[in-house]
Structure 1
Amino acid sequence: MVYLTGDTHGDIERFKHGKLRWLGKRDVVIVLGDFGFVWDGSKEEQKKLDWLRKRPYTLLFLDGAHENYDLLAQYPEEELFGGKVQALGGNVYHVCRGSVLTLEEKKYLCFGGAESPDREEREPGVNWWPQEMPSDEEYASCEQSLAANNWQVDYVLTHDAPSKFLDFSALAAGESNRLHLFLDKILLKMQYEKWFFGCYHKDAALSTKSRCVFCDVIPMK
């Protein structure tokens, strides 16, 4: 079965307790950004990654605002579940932006990235990377993937959310950025069953078709 959860920020305890502890070889876990286990390259971090690599299930993650994109870029790209991923070893993979994955006969559009609200206080290359926001090529790749699927998927998985979701909730304040507007654009063009996103550290259903995920572990039945 496929399971979704929200931002983990390098916290291994999410995987050691609760539902995730009992998953097996046929299961897939998807973290909706801010994975946080590719951050400082320390021995402690590598120890955590090694532990995750040994889990029986497949672990996929979207990128968020708090990943070390220089470290992430070192991992090789390959194709998995019909989309583009980076292999981190074992059963751990980063899902590249714009990939449409086919899992248990369902199609998942995956698109990471977000803008750090505190980026002015962060140091480039140390705890902030401009790659947190998608590039022109990544936006184009996402639209190409959707076009190849006739603009129809079962589920949409993102780290941030369309401004249309945020405007009608108490999740975020401030002006919309380019990513929000891009997600608005594809929201209007495509057909989908449900949209899941992380980023806002809350577990909340915004509507029957949209849900913010943090600590919940959601089985995709």
Structure 2
Amino acid sequence: MAKVLAVGDIHGEWEWLNVAVERTEGGIVIACGDFGFWPKHRYVDKKTRELIPVFHPSCFDLKGATVYFCDGNHEDHWTIMEFIERHGRKPIEVAPGVFLCPRGAVVEVKGRNVLFFGGGLSIDREMRRFGHSWFPEEIPSGEDLVAALSAVEAVKRKGEEIHIVVSHQAPRAFRFRLSWGAEPSENGSLRDPTRDMLDEILFAARPRLWLFGHWHERLEGYFE
């Protein structure tokens, strides 16, 4: 029976993803940002010295599965914006069976409405290069938030609900501690406005389940 698998930050580790999709038995993988969407980037293979694409259809062996991912903070956001300008905010197939879900996109997964809203602040941006490995568009815009809230209202007008929200960052209303016992730092330049936008989506949609990545840890809990 086909299954649904949620995964955190892949960061272009396609071999791991290809193994993980086997668990779905031809089902669906939902990736919560930092997927590794760098379609214009190449790296040098240490053995062959050849330039290898970071993101290319040949990277995937999905065995009939479908992958939906939202953007994280570590993606090629300028290329993502180009895709959205051409295709709108519906899911965009960027490789066979692999769909980029722009901020505000809604996908029906096994009878459940899933809202995607990616993005987040890079705390390592000082070590990255503008327009190459870091893009200010990693932070969602007001337009992105309006698109997401409009999507929530559109679903409600049909007499339905948003069952699941998939994001990269977590809403600020979610209080949690990381494995070393501290809460995520939100001081000064580390304060991520994405979390405030996610709060608005949280209280507008009231989903039954929220999936997020970013923190590279397994976190779970309940919110009322």
What does 1:118-133 align with in structure 2 at a 5 Å threshold? 118-133=124-139
What does 1:140-155 align with in structure 2 at a 5 Å threshold? 140-150=146-156, 152-155=161-164
Q: Which has the larger radius of gyration?
A: 2
- Aligned Cα RMSD in Å? 2.5
What does 1:63-82 align with in structure 2 at a 5 Å threshold? 63-75=71-83, 78=87
Structure 1: 5+ residue stretches without partners:
211-221
More strand as a share of residues: 1
Partner of 1:38: 38
> Letter of the aligned partner of 1:28 in structure 2?
I
Query: How far apart, in 2, do the equivalents of 1:47 and 1:10 lie?
Result: 7
What does 1:166-177 align with in structure 2 at a 5 Å threshold? 167-170=175-178, 172-175=184-187, 176-177=191-192
Structure 2: 5+ residue stretches without partners:
43-50
TM-score with structure 2 setting the length: 0.80
**1:8 and 2:10 correspond:** yes
CA contact (8 A) 1:12 1:48 kept: no
Distance 1:44 1:74, change over 3 A: farther
> Letter of the aligned partner of 2:194 in structure 1?
L
Query: How far apart, in 1, do the equivalents of 2:169 and 2:145 lie?
Result: 14
Query: How far apart, in 1, do the equivalents of 2:95 and 2:61 lie?
Result: 6
The structural deviation recorded for 1:183 is 1.2
> Letter of the aligned partner of 1:155 in structure 2?
I
**1:159 and 2:168 correspond:** yes
Query: How far apart, in 2, do the equivalents of 1:87 and 1:53 lie?
Result: 15
Distance 1:185 1:97, change over 3 A: same
> Letter of the aligned partner of 2:13 in structure 1?
D
Distance 1:74 1:54, change over 3 A: farther
Partner of 2:58: 50
CA contact (8 A) 1:37 1:45 kept: no
Partner of 1:86: 92
Higher relative contact order (CA 8 A, sep 6+): 1
CA contact (8 A) 1:100 1:145 kept: yes
Provide the identity percentage.
Answer: 27
Q: Which of the numbers 192, 196, 203 marks the counterpart of 1:188?
A: 203
The structural deviation recorded for 1:103 is 1.0
